[in-house]
Amino acid sequence: MKQDSFIWNLEFKRIFAVIFFTFVYAVGVLWFIEASVVPMYTGGVLGIAQLFRDTLFVVFNQTTGITFLATVNMILNIPILILGWKGVSHRFTIHTLISIVFQTLFLSLIPKIDFGLSEQVHVFAASTLGGLLIGIGAGGALRYGASTGGIDIIAQYVSLKSGKSVGFISLVVNITVAILGAFIIGGQVGPSGVSVAGGIIVSYTIVRIIASTIGLDLIHTSYQHISVQVISNQHEAIAEQIIHTIRRGVTYLEAQGAYSKSNKMMIYVIISRYEFETLFKLIQQIDPKAFIVTTPVRSVYGNFLRKTMT
């Protein structure tokens, strides 16, 4: 029962973190990117929804609101959620669905706040701040086993297969969205009521993308690995919990205390950085006096599972 309570508390904290980082993501979109007089694209599926909205405005003279944008984003995410369910993780996909639902609510309900960044002279600040918030929101969601949807899921899927950075994969896709946006709305009067050259749209969107990529890769650390050595008299109980709760392989190494001359067993395991908090709490529950050492791992080869979450 105690172990079940621990797992449920951990799951609750993850869901809360996913909702919080989704809120951060939505604030970056609403208060900075959408508030800018120069059209900028968030990238991914929401960026594709922005392209669809701008096409309706430029070609068909149809004005749509932020609720329309959020709804289109949710609809477009459905087939990608299926990919996540089949190719990434069931739990990852469920948490992503939670993020997308709250993303739709936040984008529709959070009131816009004017920070005085709506003029063209302040576009760089808007793109940088908005990009950082979007990156932190997306990276935080990924860190806690979810995604803000869209390309993040595809990037996560490809990253799991290839080991490439999620931020790099998203960067390539997002630049493509920016270029398409420049062709659609460049030189035309957009939803902001201002005509902006395509080159300016691409330039500021790239600034936004770079800021987002920095924020995402700083927060999302699931592919930065560490080795953990644990010395404890409860090594069997700790190893069992690592195998069944975190689902990582464990190696025993014989060790001897230089002062006490007593023989001990050392646990050796390699995990993602974001898994360490779970591992530390598990060890503390079993043996608060356990000796724990962590070491950064540059590369891992062989039979090592790269996964989104425990």
Residue 23 has pLDDT above 90, yes or no: yes
Average pLDDT of the chain, as a whole number: 82
The answer, yes or no, to whether residue 26 has pLDDT greater than 90, is yes
pLDDT tens-place string over residues 173-218: 778 888 888 888 877 777 777 778 888 888 998 899 888 878 877 7
Task: Give the pLDDT confidence score for residue 220 in this predicted structure.
Answer: 67
242-248, long-range: CB < 8 A, 24+ apart: 242/267, 242/269, 242/279, 242/282, 245/3, 245/7, 245/278, 245/282, 245/310, 246/271, 246/275, 246/278, 246/279, 246/282, 246/310, 247/305, 247/307, 247/310, 248/275, 248/305
Query: Which secondary structure element, helix H or strand E, spans residue 281, and what is its range?
Result: helix 276-286
Helical (H) or strand (E) element with 286:
helix 276-286
Q: Is the pLDDT of residue 288 over 70?
A: yes
- pLDDT above 90: residue 277: no
Question: Which is more confident, 209 or 128?
Answer: 128
Q: How confident is the model at residue 75 (pLDDT cuts 50, 70, 90)?
A: very high
Check residue 24 and give its pLDDT. 95
Q: Do 276 and 294 touch, CB atoms closer than 8 A?
A: yes
pTM here? 0.76
Checking if the pLDDT of 310 tops 50, the result is no
33, 10, 24, 13: which is closest to 219 by C-alpha?
24
Fold of the CATH domain 225-297: Alpha-Beta Plaits (3.30.70)
pLDDT digits (tens, 9 = 90+) for 225-274: 789 999 998 999 999 988 888 888 899 998 888 877 788 889 999 987 76
Q: According to the model, what pLDDT value does residue 309 have?
A: 45
C-beta atoms surrounding 161 within 10 Å: 10
Please give the pLDDT value at position 37.
Answer: 85
pLDDT at 308: 47
pLDDT grade for 221, boundaries at 50, 70 and 90: low
Phi-psi region of 302 (alpha: psi -120 to 50; beta: other; left: phi over 0): left
Domain boundaries, the chain: 2-219, 225-297
Share of the chain above pLDDT 70, in %: 86
Its sign, for the CA torsion 10, 95, 215, 160, is positive
* Average pLDDT estimate for 66-74: 89
Percent of the chain at pLDDT > 90 equals 22
